[in-house]
Structure 1
């Protein structure tokens, strides 16, 4: 018995394609109207003009782009890094650390997901040690004490899961090992490197609870475990171990790239992959509204094939209900001279409840982003 609350009743009306994202009627632009973040009921409109072909924009439902490279965020503590976007279920930060942390931290508000955008170092926590490198995700369960040692500057995207634990996505008929095999997840080790950092010096743990900081001082290093067993631990995944689901005849929705599931949001990873080769299949993300979720994308590296004037280290934010899709030059290129491969790496966060843009984000906002779709019929940028 299905427990889905919606009625699935496919209807065809007027001039339409036989399937979504393929064989579009001549001189039309497809727009997807979907529910529940690509998992629910969905319809596909065929328009005579680009759904993003506005000539003016007024009101609060505006797309945003932020250049996080301009943030003055070099601080010793992750809790000192500026929050960029937030709601009751998540805080999204960019944290730059210039040197090894001088204290431990513990989040008692939720799980933490770190994505290492730049640099390398060593991660120490209650459970042990592992090295970290650019492109690593580090999932830190609530209540874990941790710190990072580094000989150079690091930049980390931080995604807090305030009301639940991070979970695997439902991989459905693709199977347990699809997208990324859980066997690729690494856990901290009680190795010689971990044991060597254990000492009898004074250490502090900074505990965040209800966004206030409490400092505990110990006359020894609290990371003094000699062993452990159980199922609750830190894990690490690098984007290079992700093998994205692809189809040469159909542009798959972002949901197939779901990497972790939080409470009220999902985290997806866009990795290098072949572009659809079927001549009648869409080769860039389709126009859509995403009518139940806010959409955030952090651009890590590569050439972002559906975007124009977006660079590494930037973030875009498309609020729920805002129609968006490929920028005009990207759409035109995909139709006239499509690429065969995309080398982009990006992290997407889709939230079920609305996000608030903070003052810190407004200070690095790219004001002209809202106008970046303006062009006659999607011909030029």
Structure 2
């Protein structure tokens, strides 16, 4: 994120001596993107951050995937993937079930009640949407509090863990990139500031405010990393760190985890139906993330508020339904916790009756997170298990 923050104790000049009260040097670490050519932060550790004492393989949850063949739209019922009683013994990292994936992005879902292990994604940035529950997300930069409607954007290489708080289970929709995740470029000035026409601004972003300091030794950190021979090209390793990863006394820079609540997204509306890009909130390489929030809808006297039928010529469209009444999908069986997949090559739009029924509607009370990809998505183990097998025929009333 391209605006500067400073937390804790940092020296007046970068790459210079920084010592503790007893005179011992802190160890400076640069976490940066694109080979020293993009955003970065400098972190000051009490101990050498590279020191590990052991390494072993982490057997990731099933990462295999199958093509969407024959090509059909699909309804994936995510709530059925987890039994709440069993989920109380699952954590938010090792319990993720892969739903959809391609070479650019992986979408997983998890319901969790346990604290996760320390975790670092070395493949790409993560954008995790909190559907329900609350958590404290502890990171090497400091802690973030997360609750319903929060996006947590966690840069590649950030050691962190999820600690559920409160009484309810944590329900997370996890978008893992093979790249970095940023605000859309069209919302940014050439210097990186969010512009006046952007639907959110820097005031809406919550970053860590103070260091986390711990003294434990021999701490296991689960690392997800590139592995060309593993399913999906993703492998796992557990590093045992000689010192606790949360030993950073201070940091500064423009790269760090942050939270953004969907309620702070200001929808862009118009007299006639606005196309999906007005709902965009983030982007990665070959995919975008949009959100559909409660809003006033089209106010032309002859407007049709639900989307027109459209063909995804260049992308697959994935919609995760969070809450409310999604007008265009009435009668399809889709509800909170559902995913619809509309693949490139298939024209789609409102369910039968919804087109005419929407006329005269002035407000949509709906909340959904959409991912559009520019390469076809395949079904992960979770996606195959959650498929209702009927959605493709919902516009025609059934097969044959």
TM-score (norm 2): 0.73
Paired residues of 1:128 and 1:190 also in contact (CA < 8 A): yes
Q: 1:77 to 1:156 in 2, by over 3 A?
A: closer
Give, in angstroms, the shift of residue 145 of structure 1: 0.3
Q: 1:77 to 1:241 in 2, by over 3 A?
A: closer
**SS at 2:278 equivalent:** helix
Query: Could you list the runs of 5+ residues in structure 1 that have no partner in the other structure?
Result: 1-58, 377-381
Q: Which position in structure 2 is the counterpart of 1:231? A: 254
Q: Which position in structure 2 is the counterpart of 1:186? A: 206
Paired residues of 2:224 and 2:235 also in contact (CA < 8 A): yes
The within-5 A match list for 1:290-301 is 290-301=312-323
Cα distance in structure 2, aligned partners of 1:201 and 1:82: 31
Give, in angstroms, the shift of residue 230 of structure 1: 0.8
Cα distance in structure 1, aligned partners of 2:145 and 2:253: 22
Q: 2:276 aligns with which of 239, 249, 254?
A: 254
Paired residues of 1:66 and 1:364 also in contact (CA < 8 A): yes
Q: Which position in structure 2 is the counterpart of 1:314? A: 338
The within-5 A match list for 1:18-29 is none
Give, in angstroms, the shift of residue 219 of structure 1: 5.2
Q: Which position in structure 2 is the counterpart of 1:38? A: none
Cα distance in structure 2, aligned partners of 1:236 and 1:86: 24
Number of residue-to-residue matches in the alignment: 310
The within-5 A match list for 1:7-46 is none
Q: 1:278 to 1:167 in 2, by over 3 A?
A: closer
Cα shift readout 1:16-36 (whole Å, capped 9, x = no counterpart): xxxxxxxxxxxxxxxxxxxxx
Alignment root-mean-square deviation, CA: 2.1
Q: 1:64 aligns with which of 48, 62, 74?
A: 74
Is 2:176 the partner of 1:135?
no
Q: Which position in structure 2 is the counterpart of 1:154? A: 170
Q: 1:324 aligns with which of 348, 354, 371?
A: 348
Q: Which position in structure 1 is the counterpart of 2:110? A: 95
Cα distance in structure 2, aligned partners of 1:199 and 1:70: 41
Give, in angstroms, the shift of residue 165 of structure 1: 4.1
Q: Which position in structure 2 is the counterpart of 1:145? A: 159
Q: Which position in structure 2 is the counterpart of 1:205? A: 221
**SS at 1:367 equivalent:** coil
Is 2:88 the partner of 1:81?
no
Is 2:343 the partner of 1:333?
no
**SS at 2:357 equivalent:** helix
Paired residues of 1:169 and 1:260 also in contact (CA < 8 A): no
Paired residues of 1:111 and 1:165 also in contact (CA < 8 A): yes
Paired residues of 1:84 and 1:93 also in contact (CA < 8 A): yes
Cα distance in structure 1, aligned partners of 2:272 and 2:187: 18
Cα distance in structure 2, aligned partners of 1:66 and 1:213: 27
Is 2:263 the partner of 1:263?
no
Q: 1:327 to 1:169 in 2, by over 3 A?
A: farther
Give, in angstroms, the shift of residue 177 of structure 1: 4.9
Q: Which position in structure 2 is the counterpart of 1:37? A: none
Cα distance in structure 2, aligned partners of 1:131 and 1:172: 26
Paired residues of 1:169 and 1:258 also in contact (CA < 8 A): no
Cα shift readout 1:72-131 (whole Å, capped 9, x = no counterpart): 384325244111100000110002221222x20000111111000110111110110121
Q: Which has the higher strand share?
A: 2
Cα shift readout 1:189-241 (whole Å, capped 9, x = no counterpart): 216xx34xx24254211011122221122354311211101111111110000
